[in-house]
Structure 1
Amino acid sequence: MTLTTPALLFPAISLLLLAYTNRFVVLAQLIRRLKEMEGEKDHEIVARQIHMLRKRILLTKRMQAAGVLSFFGCTLSMFALFLGWQTFGVVCFGVSLLLLSLSLLYSLWEIVLSTDAINVELEDFEERRQSK
């Protein structure tokens, strides 16, 4: 394995971390908006949304941590390969790939929860529409 192999992941991991940060910002905005709307909305819906938002924040934290550790592993792999420590570099790169995969799985789980949260809003909208 050459030094350029782990270097190929740098742009991908960087973009992934940027996307995760954007997701976190959106979650923070949703929480702030939900807090403002708490008096206007049904408390059961707000409670369901808060529960889902807590899970999504935890998943976002985990996917960001796994992504950062993947980036670190990739960097460590490049450094090891630079020093000529082939076996250690390959192992670090393998660990980096596993962490990146874990990060993507957390992201997928968060997307599923995000979809569930949107469905809660749609259910509320449909119930209000049918009651009119």
Structure 2
Amino acid sequence: MELTLTTPALLFPAISLLLLAYTNRFLVLAQLVRDLHARFKEEPDEILSGQIQNLQKRILLIRNMQILGVCSFFLCVFCMFLIFLNNYPFAEFTFACSLILLMASLGFSIKELLISAKALTLQLSDYEEIKIKN
């Protein structure tokens, strides 16, 4: 395979969109944590405490997703610089590392989505009971 300047550049839009999505998720969770923390301070509740702990895990995952995504982006740029210097063996290695970091970031994203879905399922667990009562 021939590695040209355009090959790592193809990842730029994908990584940029991923980082934007990760940032949006982080901002939504941060606001939710603030709201739940304020409610917890007013009226401590075990359910709120569990939700806050769940959100803390998710925020750490999103932080890791963002760090890996930024590192992947950095390695793509560095790879392009190495291609510019005609250092193709190291450029190929750097590009491979960039792809691995991007896959790891996506893996963390899957884990965060699974935790998110589980949290929503727990939140709706009493839905049937409330529905029957009403």
Which TM-score applies when normalising by structure 1? 0.91
**Contact kept in structure 2, 1:76 and 1:92, CA below 8 Å:** yes
Using the TM superposition, name which of 109-118 and 94-103 deviates more. 109-118
Look up the match of 1:73: 75
Q: 1:57 is matched by which residue type in structure 2?
A: I
CA deviation vs aligned residue, 1:8-54 (integer Å, no higher than 9, x gap) = 000100000000000000101111221233346x7121121111111
DSSP 3-state at the match of 1:84: coil
Using the TM superposition, name which of 79-88 and 26-35 deviates more. 26-35
Cα distance in 2, alignment partners of residues 96 and 130 from structure 1: 53
**Contact kept in structure 2, 1:45 and 1:124, CA below 8 Å:** no
Confirm or deny that 1:48 pairs with 2:54: no
DSSP 3-state at the match of 2:86: coil
Look up the match of 2:61: 59
In structure 1, stretches of 5+ residues that fail to align are none
In structure 2, stretches of 5+ residues that fail to align are none
Q: CA deviation at 1:101?
A: 0.1
Q: 1:109 is matched by which residue type in structure 2?
A: K
**Contact kept in structure 2, 1:45 and 1:120, CA below 8 Å:** no
Aligned length: 131
Look up the match of 2:97: 95
Q: CA deviation at 1:86?
A: 0.4
> Structure 1's 73 and 9: CA in aligned 2 closer, same or farther, altered over 3 A?
same
Cα distance in 1, alignment partners of residues 115 and 130 from structure 2: 23
Cα distance in 1, alignment partners of residues 127 and 89 from structure 2: 57
Confirm or deny that 1:23 pairs with 2:25: yes
Runs of 4 or more off by more than 4 Å in structure 1?
124-132
- Identify which of 78, 85, 88 aligns with 1:86: 88
DSSP 3-state at the match of 2:4: coil
What is the percentage of aligned positions where both structures have the same residue?
53
Which TM-score applies when normalising by structure 2? 0.89
Look up the match of 1:104: 106
Look up the match of 2:123: 121
DSSP 3-state at the match of 1:123: coil
